[in-house]
Amino acid sequence: MREHLYRGKDEKTGEWRVGGFTLDAADNPRITTKDPSGGGLLFHFVIPETVGEYMGLEDKNGVKIFEEDIVQFDYAGITHRGKIIYQTSECEWGVCCPETMGYQSINSLLRLFISFEVIGNIHDNSELI
């Protein structure tokens, strides 16, 4: 079974938070993490547009791949860069490489034994795409 994790930037500190996802009574997004002192859960209010879901895969370096991460991979002798997206209409994860190959489903690339490397995300490193 896939691990359900979410990531978002803390609206106070700008730090990335990874954990569960909830909304408060006013529909403000929060990432929930375990209190390191063992006291239960901590709720971190996050910037809504930075919330992204873990897609259930790790890159070639063991880094978890989240929605809106920028990945790099080699295919047909060309290095491609693209943004990880969830294609709602197709109910599948994909990568959008506007400069080289457009949209490709992750499953079709994995069948070609493509290995991805996370090189950033669109919120911190938009210049990479």
- Domain CATH number, residue 122: 2.30.30
Let me know whether 84 and 26 are in one domain. no
Let me know whether 42 and 77 are in one domain. no
Identify the CA nearest to 86 among candidates 57, 114, 45: 57
Spatial distance between the Cα atoms of 77 and 65, rounded to a whole number of angstroms: 23
Identify the CA nearest to 55 among candidates 73, 40, 38, 67: 67
What does pTM read for this prediction? 0.90
Domain total for the chain?
2
The per-residue pLDDT for 38 is 82
pLDDT digits (tens, 9 = 90+) for 6-52: 999 999 999 999 999 999 999 999 999 998 888 789 999 999 999 99
Let me know whether 82 and 121 are in one domain. yes
pLDDT digits (tens, 9 = 90+) for 95-113: 999 887 889 999 999 989 8
Contact 80, 117 (CB under 8 A): no
Domain of 123, in residue numbers: 56-128
Contact 63, 16 (CB under 8 A): no
* φ and ψ at residue 50, rounded to 5 degrees: -95, -5
